[in-house]
Structure 1
């Protein structure tokens, strides 16, 4: 997960990962002595400006498994370094960039030996949640494709909002500045090491990383030639409020409306029973969950007959009311729609979020940003009235809800947004909503908006990674996931290289291909359509093959 990276896989990984920093496997390195020496010398020779200090410069051979990447928070280390394997010889540079008298950004820069022969591209990768975790697996994935890859700690270490307390410059780094300074450092490092000016500059991120990408598109589109923004946590302030209210509705074990993990499985099955065949195929995947309006009253216990969950696997009136609130939009005390509903089929992802992290992100934002009061307590202090206090502050435009992409359009740069429609952390309906908001605000129909901004709903994808469908598209947070037989689609770079082809060759993506391994071990492939087109089963053929579907 990206928005909330403290999850079960993190906790397990933190226990089982070895302590050694590097484990080398695969073929021996053939990097020239000159490349190795120039890399080692960067600590002495790379001095781009008075704000940047080199902390580490070292050669890393092909086959190295970055099993314990150098971060200060162990859970960051476990999650974000998982699957980080160097596919090419590379130079690693770690720099400290001063951004003010009270703030700094740590950047990791991976410079692959193949850089000059693969387009001289630079890419910055994003973060997740409120954290400063460098996405090491994204760095090694991009470097394998020839990019000089940059990731930062977003201005602070660890996974909580504690570093924000009374430190506005740190919040500024988190909101956007780390992207700018990290990218500039990466460009200068590539120029210095290889003696060539970089070509195109790209960005890739999911969740908070998706918000960072949209922030760049809205406020400094000149920085990146192409942006790949997944599951964007934009509309950020209302997202924080929605997370708090969702937990209050169905996630608090002390509440009468609480839904347990076991009960969520039954809710999920009801959603599939009522909506799975809308797209023509009963496969556990909703191609258009926007059409799904579940009737949860079908799970209501017959109180007169004395039915209970234990006896009939049914739910109480309070629980049904809680479900209806979550599957409806968040409404403010003033009657405004603040945030869209949970997408049907995303309930299992939501259940995991509620069970593992609760209202952590919302609590941290209130304590360390809104109020600067570490004693704020969710259980006693949260209310929809508190959401108004939250929304009154938008530090450094972190809401990222500006619909005017005129500067992006004028720059001729490109934006691809995507969102898993099984995402229980950030509702995919927020991305549909933003696309249409931009369309209305700019007065542009889809055919003109698509000249520079395309949106792809990815069915069967949960929050950034994993899911029940063809979810692997070669994007942020996905390269570190293990598949039987290895990762699919690394040969052409997935959605990232789709973006490159659009930027550099003018070939705009009509579809993004997803793949996965199905429940019976079979390969599943599906082409995900650009919005507002929808994937439709043609009525014949194997639904696990892309030829059985069309965009219409």
Structure 2
């Protein structure tokens, strides 16, 4: 048995052991990181601001760019206005297309490479942004650089960053790449490690200087990439922007499969597991949650700001009517209350071992986005990940059937297999997908880098409770306070990265740059609702009674946005973080 196998087995035992014996709200507690002295004892370095440079044109750039194991396939001049953000033209830039480490797989015989595009502004601000993409990757999305939230009004490219986007080492959105052992590792963490120095080298060639400051960010799996980079590549980036991070993605996927089993058992139509918790029933529960929790922040405004207090105030058994003989949308059956309540408390295996975190009760359950993750992705996207990308050994892609795998598979077996390794797949998914020692960010902290994390409290696939637990562990590992280098912002009502009854439009990147380069720690971030006419696109989930331009402060945990007691309830200025 080699050392990688041993690490995978130890990681699996650790996760399974914690899941089996947790007596708190959530299963995960990371290994204790060495506690740092209080922040005041060791002032952190202040990084200097970036300075820009100009590139007259893209002419001749292709002939000058080279890097080991890298093929530049094209360099294109992109005229101003070709790319737009919220209707605003992005300035002229060069698009560099290429591949790294092209090879043929010994497992499936297919050709793999790490595909990328790097966009280089002619007027560069001296900064580099790694765009960490979501889902199972597999495509080179336009390298724009997300600033956070839904319906963005700006992006990093428009702000003058050089931005890279990549496919994480495989082409196509399907999970079949998981048969190739190296593609698993590239997807998990190695693509970031390979692309980062290459991109910085090309930037140096293009502008005559390396980036002064480097940032990485994304949402969902992009948030996971970012959190993994914070742990593995703390020397490569100065700012880390993680949105709705699925940093324990394999476990969240198995928990969602557990949800599919529960909803199938409650379904009135066996062809549609969504009939186990209908839209009317989800609206019923959302309204019951609001009835108990909305005004806890001083304003009855359709937002639950304090999810911790709501956990104590709302009880599904007590606060939702119980059906008699018929389910008609005005009640839940006793079986629904037991099953759905258990999922929100934290999904378990058949033998009662905790799989993943609890989920907060919130107001976004009735949305289409929530339903899609719970009733569709659980049978397709999550099953492909668990069965083909993370399991050792993987399922046979020629015969794999996602819904059958989800509804007939054994959860304990799934959990064991994502924690396993062998001679071909030498790292378990709990090694290559998760950040090692997630609460130990001492390298990042000591060099003056900063981390900003946000998470929607109505996210149906990655729980904001899980991220809250991570941040609590980070605080504990840093003398009780990590706010001098890492801050966590919950976004009330927001679904997965965007949408939901929420003020979900905000620019966290600008706040992060001001913190990294100017020492201005974000005391709050103003977020806006996207009503009709919003330049970034309207959010169809907004309640009819809200102002189309409602604003709220997003507050750094553990602070909560609280109504001052007077002032326009639609305006952020009427709330304070406390």
| Same fold flag (TM > 0.5) | yes
Residue matched to 1:164: 178
Deviations 1:345-394 (A, max 9, x none): 24234323124423323311232131322345222223344323333453
Which structure carries more relative contact order (alpha carbon 8 Å, separation 6+)? 2
Secondary structure, in 3 states, of the residue corresponding to 1:388? helix
Match of 1:149 among 163, 176, 193: 163
Post-superposition offset of 1:151: 0.7
- Checking the alignment, whether the CA contact within 8 Å between 1:330 and 1:338 is kept in structure 2 is yes
Cα deviation 1:454-490 (Å, max 9, x = unaligned):
11112232211223222111xxxxxxxxxxxxxxxxx
1:228 aligned to 238, 241, 247, which one? 241
For 1:124, which of 123, 127, 130 is the aligned residue?
A: 130
> For the structure 1 residues 469 and 350, does the alpha-carbon distance in structure 2 shift closer, same or farther, using more than 3 Å as the test?
closer
Partner of 2:529, secondary structure, is strand
Stretch of structure 1 that moved more, 147-156 or 267-276: 267-276
CA distance in 1, matches of 2:478, 2:473: 10
Q: What are the superposed Cα offsets for residues 304-330 of structure 1, whole Å, 9 maximum, x if unpaired?
A: xx4x224x6322222222211122123
Deviating more after overlay: 532-541 vs 393-402: 393-402
* Partner secondary structure for residue 415 of structure 1: strand
Q: Distance in 1 between matches of 2:345 and 2:528?
A: 31
Query: Cα gap change, 1:48/1:385 in structure 2, threshold over 3 Å: closer, same or farther?
Result: closer
Q: Which residue among 347, 351, 354 is the counterpart of 2:371?
A: 351
CA distance in 2, matches of 1:237, 1:204: 20
Asked if 1:470 corresponds to 2:542, the answer is no
Residue pair 1:256, 1:318 contacting (<8 A) in 2 also: no
SS across alignment from 2:203: helix
The answer to whether the Cα contact below 8 Å between 1:423 and 1:462 also exists between their aligned partners in 2 is yes
The CA deviation string for residues 137-179 of structure 1, in whole angstroms up to 9 with x for no partner, is 73482111010001101111222211111x1110111011221
1:279 aligns with 2:297: yes
In structure 1, C-alpha distance between the alignment counterparts of 2:173 and 2:510, rounded to whole Å = 30
Question: 2:564, 2:576 within 8 Å by CA — same for their partners in 1?
Answer: yes
Deviation at 1:401, TM superposition (A): 5.7
Does 1:60 find its partner at 2:78?
yes
**Distance in 2 between the 1:55 and 1:42 partners?**
12
- The structure 2 residue matched to 1:328, chosen from 345, 361, 374, is 345
SS in 1 for 2:490: strand
Q: Is the 8 A contact 2:321 2:330 kept in 1?
A: no
Task: Give the TM-score of the pair, scaled to structure 1.
Answer: 0.79
Alpha-carbon separation, structure 2, partners of 1:391 and 1:199: 39
Matches within 5 A, 1:168-317: 168-250=181-263, 253=267, 254=270, 258-293=276-311, 294-297=314-317, 298-303=319-324, 306=325, 308-310=326-328, 313-317=330-334
**Alignment partners' CA distance in 1, 2:198 and 2:227:** 21
Q: 2:434 aligns with which of 380, 386, 399?
A: 399
Structure 1 residue 529 corresponds to structure 2 residue 542: no
| Residue range with higher mean Cα deviation, 91-100 or 169-178 | 91-100
Native 8 Å contact 2:226 2:240 kept in 1: yes
Residues 41 and 542 (structure 1), Cα distance of their counterparts in 2 relative to 1, 3 Å cut: same
Q: How do residues 341-420 of structure 1 correspond to structure 2 at under 5 angstroms?
A: 341-345=358-362, 346-348=364-366, 349-369=369-389, 370=391, 371-374=393-396, 375-376=399-400, 377-392=405-420, 394-395=428-429, 396-400=431-435, 402=437, 403-420=439-456
Quote how far apart the aligned CAs of 1:89 are. Answer: 0.5
**How far apart in 1 are the matches of 2:274 and 2:483?**
46
Distance in structure 1 (CA, Å) of the matches to 2:55 and 2:525: 40
Q: Secondary structure at the match of 1:202?
A: strand
- In structure 2, relative to structure 1, the CA distance for the partners of 1:547 and 1:366 (3 Å cut) is closer
**What secondary structure does 2:286 align onto?**
helix
Q: Residues 443 and 47 from structure 1, CA distance in 2 versus in 1: closer, same or farther, beyond 3 angstroms?
A: closer
Partner of 1:97: helix, strand, or coil? strand
Q: Which runs of 5+ in 2 are unaligned?
A: 1-53, 106-111, 146-153, 422-427, 532-543
Is the Cα–Cα contact under 8 Å of residues 421 and 457 in structure 1 kept in the other structure?
A: yes
Match of 1:93 among 78, 92, 96: 96
Q: Residue 276 of structure 1: CA displacement?
A: 1.4
- Aligned residues between the structures: 471
Aligned-partner SS, 1:330: coil
Contact 1:133 1:152 in 2 (8 A): yes
Q: Give the whole-Å Cα distance in 1 for the aligned partners of 2:203 and 2:197.
A: 10
CA deviation string 1:499-545 (max 9, x = no partner): 11111111111112211235455311111111111211111111221
The CA RMSD over aligned residues, in Å, is 2.6
Tell me: CA distance 1:107–1:256, structure 2 relative to 1, closer, same or farther (3 Å).
Answer: closer
Q: Does the aligned pair in 2 maintain the 1:423–1:463 contact within 8 Å? A: yes
Match of residue 474 from structure 2: 438
**What is the aligned partner in structure 1 of residue 115 from structure 2?**
106
Distance 1:495 1:55 in 2: 33
Return the alpha-carbon distance in structure 2 between the equivalents of residues 174 and 379 of structure 1: 27
**How far did 1:99 drift?**
6.5
8 A contact 1:300–1:317 mirrored in 2: no
- Aligned equivalents of 1:386, 1:169: Cα separation in 2: 21
2:529 matched to which residue of 1? 516
- Distance (Å, rounded) in 1 between the aligned partners of 2:279 and 2:139: 28
Matched, 1:423 2:437: no
Unaligned runs of 5+ in 1: 1-32, 67-81, 474-493
Equivalent residue number for residue 45 of structure 1: 64
Q: Distance in 1 between matches of 2:228 and 2:340?
A: 32
